[in-house]
Amino acid sequence: MKLTQSDLNQFIGTAHYYGHPLFPTLVFTDGIKFLAEKAGAFWLIDIVGSYQPKLKREPFQLWRLEKADEGAVVTCRQDTNEPDLVRQEIPYTDFPFDDLGDSFEWYVCQNDETTFVMLLKSEY
């Protein structure tokens, strides 16, 4: 599986929003769906969704997946230089870091009073 940043940068908006049956307040874009399918990373959507009750007062969330030994660390912040609101270690992952670099970032933004949208940075 080869997934490059160029593949993801082609997404500059979305035609569809996709829901998650376990997290009704979270939807995701075409770009996130493409990433999840190509990288086998639907678990990223699960992680983000699982933290939304804790983060429901955060209208903008910067999420980051960073390579760590055989695994990774997932963090969420209000913005680049802010402290972590979320930090979760993943003991093992086959996420394509070699293709995308040692870290990958995306956003979650409040869409309306009850819904948050998970999107690639290029879709913002």
DSSP reduced 3-state for 81: coil
Q: Output the pLDDT for position 1.
A: 59
pTM of the model: 0.95
In a domain, 8, yes or no: no
In a domain, 36, yes or no: yes
In a domain, 77, yes or no: yes
In a domain, 74, yes or no: yes
DSSP reduced 3-state for 110: strand
Burial of 114 (0-12, 13-18, 19+ CB in 10 A): exposed
In a domain, 60, yes or no: yes
Interval 29-78: pLDDT, tens: 999 999 999 999 999 999 999 999 999 999 999 999 999 999 999 999 99
Residue 107 CB partners (closer than 8 Å, separation 6+): 60, 61, 62, 63, 118, 119, 120, 121, 124
Interval 107-122: pLDDT, tens: 999 999 889 999 999 9
In a domain, 95, yes or no: yes
In a domain, 11, yes or no: no
In a domain, 9, yes or no: no
- Which structural domain, as residue segments, surrounds residue 29? 16-123
Question: What's 43's domain CATH number?
Answer: 3.10.450
Domain count for the chain, please give it: 1
